[in-house]
Amino acid sequence: MSLTNLVSNVGVVATDTTGVGTVRQDLGACQYGGDKGIFGYGNATASSLTNLISNVGVVATDTTGVGTARWALTACEWGGGKGIFCFGNTGSNVSMSNLVSNTGVVATDTTGVATIKLMVGGCSFN
């Protein structure tokens, strides 16, 4: 079942809202554009789908993803409104990333970005 829950700026979690898009697990998610978000990839038989989230919490329908389908990846925001999806598993662990522009456009794979990692965390800094 695809559900979402909005969280207010004071941490109040709203009731379940019937979600939009394909149910999947082990996906990555991050902020982009300063006030929006994106969910991407995940294990729905190895998905490369993304879903943009508006600045008021509306989840967009599935967008056929760019790049290699994978799960158990991480994502974080970086560089003033951009995001990045990193690493994951395609049946074996992979070392790749996909940049997300400040308008939510996902770039093609960049391979060999670092030592292969799986199920790692990511965060912004500075």
% pLDDT > 70, the chain: 94
- Confidence (pLDDT) at 66: 86
Q: Which two tokens stand for residue 16?
A: 């379940």
Question: What is the percentage of the chain residues whose pLDDT exceeds 90?
Answer: 48
Say if residues 67 and 108 touch (Cβ distance below 8 Å): yes
Which DSSP string do the residues of 15-42 spell out, in sequence order? PPEE--S---BS-EEEEETTTEEEEE--
Instruction: Give, in order, the Cα–Cα distances in Å from 82 to each of 5, 93, 94.
Output: 23, 25, 22
pLDDT value at residue 110? 94
> Taking all residues of the chain, what is their mean pLDDT, rounded to a whole number?
86
**Any idea what DSSP says for residue 45?**
T
3-state secondary structure of 43: strand
Amino acid at 5: N
Each residue of 87-124: pLDDT tens digit? 999 988 999 999 999 999 999 999 887 778 777 777 77
CB 7 within 8 A of CB 15: no
| Residue 98 and residue 106 in contact, taking contact as beta carbons nearer than 8 Å | yes
Give this prediction's pTM. Answer: 0.84
